[in-house]
Amino acid sequence: MYVNGEWLRDGPTFSVHNPATGETLGEVFDGNAEHAQQAIKAAEQAQDSWAGETAYKRSELLARAHGLMLERQAALANLMTREQGKPLKAAMNEVKYAADFLLWFAEEAKRIYGETIPSARADQRFLVHKQAVGVVAAITPWNYPISMLTRKLGPALAAGCTVVLKPAESTPLCAMAVFDILHEVGFPPGVANLVTTSDPKPIGDVFCTHPSVRKLTFTGSTAVGKHLAQAAAPQLKRVSMELGGHAPFIVFDDADPVHAAKGASLVKFLNTGQACISPNRIFVQRRILEPFLDTLQERVGKLRAGNGLDPANSIGPLINEAAIAKVDRQVQDAIAKGATLLSGGARLSDGELANGHFYGATLLSNISADMLIYREETFGPVAAVVPFDDDDDVIAMANDTRYGLAAYVYTQNLARALRTFEQLQFGIIGINDINPTSAAAPFGGMKESGLGREGAREGIEEYLETKLGGISI
């Protein structure tokens, strides 16, 4: 636990394991509600002085953290692969992405502008001022264990907020490595605090109910997000949530089916499908269904599962046994209800995979609306293909979900692309693009996929209050 500028190491611990091998990677401080309160007190005491720092000072520290993170890119990526499981190349990319948020918000810190507003009265002036919300409580997930930290820490610290962060219990070592960087570049004591724990509920309860916490930011499941929002509501805390997704991937018949299938395979099996923007329902217009499936099946068949430290492996393990059970339940349900299994469809446990949480890259076709996989977020390496005929029908099917985070569209027709972009009820839409994300772009969803945006100039607004001064002269 890192509180008030110091590492606290004496106390109860819990073990952290490699999901690919089962080996124990280390022992981590096991914090509880009292520790969360201690961290919040440190953040509260540091809040006024940190908010009073110049934007240039806050910017300088974030820029230094960006530089140090890039210096340690290889070591951080190696740690991430061992703790979270993703292939080393993907981990390297994530560290770069994480550093981008630090640099972007280092720049945005100096661009928190106010304004003056004309008054109808000759003797009155209006002055609008932006200031830090206050103490921020942040809860981050295991699937992107470094970039999801900086996507919250960057804007909060840039805005002048102090932070208490609880990382996922599966990936605390990555969080500790990030806070090592913040410590080394010289963030003042109490500005950034870390509480690690094996039991997130008591920490979450403190975050939601402590009166000194003025903002709660969470990335994780929709079910947990709803619970946290309800718990924070009595104090009217500011809340931002980046929650689950159920992304449609629409391939119209004027698209190149081979190119679209290659794109689908890359984004579907990114991070072993454990990404909130991962496509869950792949809608393909019937006229090009066969060549699309042929290419996708060929690509899926070449995916090799294994330890992410081996460059020959393209997909890693799932995070735990519960994830394996959920994925297999959806696959078996689909097969029982008439889906065609083209690849995979089973757990992998031979040889070096025996001690890990591996599931074979899976391709299902003939998916229908009565199947679990059509309705539920999968969070695993399963591509589910749904044929369609009519443009209006596919828009209705794509929007037929309580989620609204990401969507993908493949078409060469500009009018069709713009029409679909406007009709889809999702916050992020890639048009012939499988990576519609950046530190410079707003990230977030509609409906039950969340509240607010992260990244871009919108990202820092989540951590700012607007204050109006009416001045009589």
- Which residues does the annotation mark as catalytic? 242, 276
Query: Using an 8 Å Cβ cutoff, are 388 and 283 in contact?
Result: yes
Measured CA to CA in angstroms, residue 472 lies from 123, 128, 157, 256 at distances of 6, 15, 34, 65
Structure tokens, 206: 């403190």
Work out the burial of residue 288: count CB atoms within 10 Å of its CB; fewer than 13 is exposed, 13-18 middle, 19 or more buried: buried
Q: What is the dihedral of CA 324, 325, 331, 334, to 10 degrees?
A: -160
Q: Are strands 6-7 and 2-3 parallel, antiparallel or unpaired?
A: antiparallel
Of residues 25, 379, 3, the one with CA closest to residue 172 = 25
What is d(CA 2, CA 247) in angstroms, rounded to the nearest whole number? 37
Amino acid, res. 278: S
Given a contact cutoff of 8 angstroms between Cβ atoms, the answer to whether 244 and 221 are in contact is: yes
- Write out the E strands in 133-195: 135-139, 163-166, 192-194
The DSSP H or E segment spanning 365 is strand 362-365
